[in-house]
């Protein structure tokens, strides 16, 4: 079986280590774990590897976030990968920082990368692994927040979170979507940030 694992993000030094590039962060962690290197190719950086008996094509689109679907469609067709073997790794503003959720379908939820993928492949029925980035920003500052870099108390957890995302991706390829959702969707990391402490304090008042 062959799988397409797509990390969403924006290319360029100005976007490195930003919350909106969580998809790149996750796919880079997987590439390191299975010891493969990305090379520039059509519509993105691509790496080929194996997870036991599963062939995987890792993709970081270079189309910028809003046109991610063009790269996904091209590599699905090029590698003859069915939609049920596609997994998109993406940031999610509606989830608390560090939370992870695997879904087999759903709306774009305001995420421009997911919206474009849906338009290009003609379906919402593809798997996506969402990386919670939180939403602690003042009104009108959403763009600054998602394109901002991680806070120091968030950054210290990224390696641990990415270890879990790598486990989830491997399980998706080897055990399937349903089994992986059962195993991991209620899995919570013990993450404490300055903001989470503030939120907890506010909830008690």
**Residues identified as active-site:** 20
The whole-angstrom separation of Cα 90 and Cα 112 is 11
- Assess contact for 84 and 2: CB atoms under 8 A: no
Q: For the stretch 13-48, what's the b/e string if a residue is b when 16 or more beta carbons lie within 10 angstroms of its beta carbon?
A: eebeebbbbbbbbbbbbbbebbebeeeeeebbbbbe
Task: Name the token pair of 131.
Answer: 């990386």
Task: Name the token pair of 101.
Answer: 């959720």
**DSSP per residue over 82-144, as a string?**
-GGGEEEEEEETTS-TT-EEEESS---TT-HHHHHHHHHHT-S-SEEEEEE------TT-HHH
DSSP classification of residue 80 = T
The whole-angstrom separation of Cα 113 and Cα 88 is 10
């Amino acid at each position: 079986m062959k799988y397409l694992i797509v990390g969403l993000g924006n290319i360029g030094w100005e976007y490195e280590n930003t919350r909106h590039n969580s998809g790149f962060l996750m796919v880079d962690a997987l590439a390191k774990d299975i010891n493969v290197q990305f090379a520039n190719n059509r519509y993105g950086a691509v790496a080929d590897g194996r997870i036991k008996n599963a062939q995987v094509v890792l993709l970081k689109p270079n189309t910028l976030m809003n046109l991610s679907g063009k790269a996904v469609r091209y590599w699905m067709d090029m590698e003859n990968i069915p939609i049920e073997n596609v997994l998109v790794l993406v940031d999610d503003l509606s989830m608390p920082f560090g939370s992870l959720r695997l879904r087999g379908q759903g709306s774009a939820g305001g995420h421009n990368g997911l919206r474009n993928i849906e338009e290009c492949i003609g379906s919402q029925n593809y798997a996506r692994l969402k990386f919670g980035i939180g939403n602690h920003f003042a009104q009108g500052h959403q763009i600054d927040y998602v394109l901002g870099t991680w806070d120091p108390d968030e950054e210290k957890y990224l390696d641990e979170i990415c270890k879990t995302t790598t486990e989830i991706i491997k399980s998706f390829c080897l055990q399937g979507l349903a089994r992986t959702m059962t195993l991991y969707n209620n899995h919570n990391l013990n993450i404490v940030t300055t903001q989470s402490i503030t939120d907890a304090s506010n909830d008690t008042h």
